[in-house]
Structure 1
């Protein structure tokens, strides 16, 4: 993540002042520089040494987190609002770095893929709105070799690439442009959540190639009984989800999950070359490692599934935001809600929240504008999964209580 460390703010700190006083006002907000609007600095109510700097670039709003330490100040992107491409965030940090006594940074010049906004990168909530018929999904596409090649060989199909690793996303988006491929869209999202909101019986194939094994933390794996259930619902009848792995433990555990199903049809292979040899597969072949394939087929036509929900917050009640900073985590049978932090400035209250499914939680920032009486999620809205909907409704109930 782009960041820099500063010794002190250079604009208004004379030499005899305490250079590390977190209450020093180093720059009046708002101000504009190099195409960025720096809107406000909101202080954390849980940790007085932390704050959020709100930045607008074009149609994007994102935050920079400022953390006061004993001998330095850290500025870094707030990961829950991180813009794409990452060069947008780096540019904002470079503007701030010029106003400080800079100690160190990782803000070197951007590569081409870090500054070009791609029309092929979609918000997760935009995926269901597209015409999704006969599409294929690759979960964790890494270098993108398999995804790109399959899209080239099948121009009549739409390929959805799902990945959470930003450098991989930026690399593949650049390759899509260079190769002139038109039938790929990319989403930065947890695939386990995305599958829950996709239509039934429409997918041609789901590829999970060389996922992280997580043998010591199996709950973090992509393959689980719940994911397989959603994947088989999304797939057309007799189409398959394909796991390809070099990890024997992962393969065996996945096989046992399938064997617990009431009905199952599967194919197993060992050390057979795939249609497209990925970077990882080529490496394992050179090392003479075993490679395992497990294909699980969808056997049924499932009922149509379409959940629509408007994550609107149509009221603002914030006379005492301090009352929300120490609320314990709310845990229900099938979802949870946690207010992680509350940030305040003159006109705004910002909630950092974590909620949804216990294993597949999402983290969001919500901005409440007291002056204009508006409230909204920063960036994309949550996906309309049952757990997310229930947690959002719990949040609305919580905010409406008298405090």
Structure 2
């Protein structure tokens, strides 16, 4: 299944600063984890699952790291990095059990940077196990509607849309939006068996520099 969208140039991604490789084992990943409220809650409630929480903003990452130091979950790892290059350099094909993308920047002035509009989304799918899921949450109905359309028209992925209950408190944003009475929704996206992407054989770059990375080709 080749997607009708230009191909993401994974081999051109520079490794994040202070990049550290991870082992090829089933894990969950939260992208844009903020101060880590959901990540710490999830890892505490799911001791048999390993979660890596990626946050780009230094202040938020440090807050997450500090709270993790207090709570001490052994199955949780915070990472300070931009998510796109980290995913390319760190993750193996079909490795991830669950991705969480909770209340991402809606990019009102740059729709091409919304998650399901980016060529990178195909690479993200390639890292997901068959039967694995991506949870995408937003308080913006138009964002969810657009993502739904992309799932149907472009990515051909099954999903379930859910209204997030008013009692939910997974992230600081979620608490704020629900207290204001806003409609918060999420899409639970599932990767079917035999779903293919153009990156299924693309191995992680593990921090190689760009000169060497350009020699790595995806099918």
Give the TM-score taking structure 1 as reference length. Answer: 0.44
Larger proportion of helix: 2
1:247 aligns with 2:140: yes
Say which of 141, 165, 185 aligns to 1:272. Answer: 165
Residue aligning to 2:5: none
Give the CA deviation at 1:308. 4.3
1:125 aligns with 2:16: no
Residue aligning to 1:390: 214
Report the count of equivalent residues: 195
- CA 124–259 in structure 1, closer or farther in 2 if over 3 Å, else same: farther
- CA 308–168 in structure 1, closer or farther in 2 if over 3 Å, else same: closer
Say which of 181, 187, 192 aligns to 2:79. Answer: 187
Return the structure number with greater relative CO, CA threshold 8 A, min gap 6.
2
- CA 218–261 in structure 1, closer or farther in 2 if over 3 Å, else same: closer
Residue aligning to 1:306: 203
Residue aligning to 2:52: 160
Rounded to whole Å, the distance in 2 between the matches of 1:234 and 1:245 is 23
SS in structure 2 at match of 1:205? strand
SS in structure 2 at match of 1:261? helix
Residue aligning to 1:396: none
CA deviation profile, 1:170-217 (whole Å, cap 9, x unmatched) = 011111111122222222222123333411111110001011111111
- CA 388–294 in structure 1, closer or farther in 2 if over 3 Å, else same: farther
Rounded to whole Å, the distance in 2 between the matches of 1:287 and 1:193 is 35
CA contact (8 A) 1:241 1:295 kept: yes
SS in structure 1 at match of 2:119? helix
Give the CA deviation at 1:274. 8.1
SS in structure 1 at match of 2:22? coil
Residue aligning to 1:365: none
- CA 223–262 in structure 1, closer or farther in 2 if over 3 Å, else same: closer
Larger proportion of strand: 1
Residue aligning to 1:343: none
Superposed CA RMSD in Å reads 2.7
Give the CA deviation at 1:158. 1.7
Say which of 24, 27, 41 aligns to 1:149. Answer: 41
SS in structure 2 at match of 1:149? helix
CA contact (8 A) 2:169 2:175 kept: no
1:176 aligns with 2:68: yes
Q: Which runs of 5+ in 1 are unaligned?
A: 1-121, 312-381, 392-403
Give the CA deviation at 1:269. 1.3
- CA 215–200 in structure 1, closer or farther in 2 if over 3 Å, else same: same
Q: Which has the larger radius of gyration?
A: 1
Give the CA deviation at 1:258. 1.1
* Structure 1 residue ranges, 4+ long, deviating more than 6 angstroms after superposition: none
CA contact (8 A) 1:209 1:242 kept: yes
What is the correspondence of 1:199-214 to structure 2 with a 5 Å cutoff? 199-214=92-107
- CA 132–150 in structure 1, closer or farther in 2 if over 3 Å, else same: farther
Give the TM-score taking structure 2 as reference length. Answer: 0.77
Rounded to whole Å, the distance in 1 between the matches of 2:137 and 2:155 is 23
Q: Which runs of 5+ in 2 are unaligned?
A: 1-15
After alignment, is 149-158 or 260-269 more displaced? 260-269
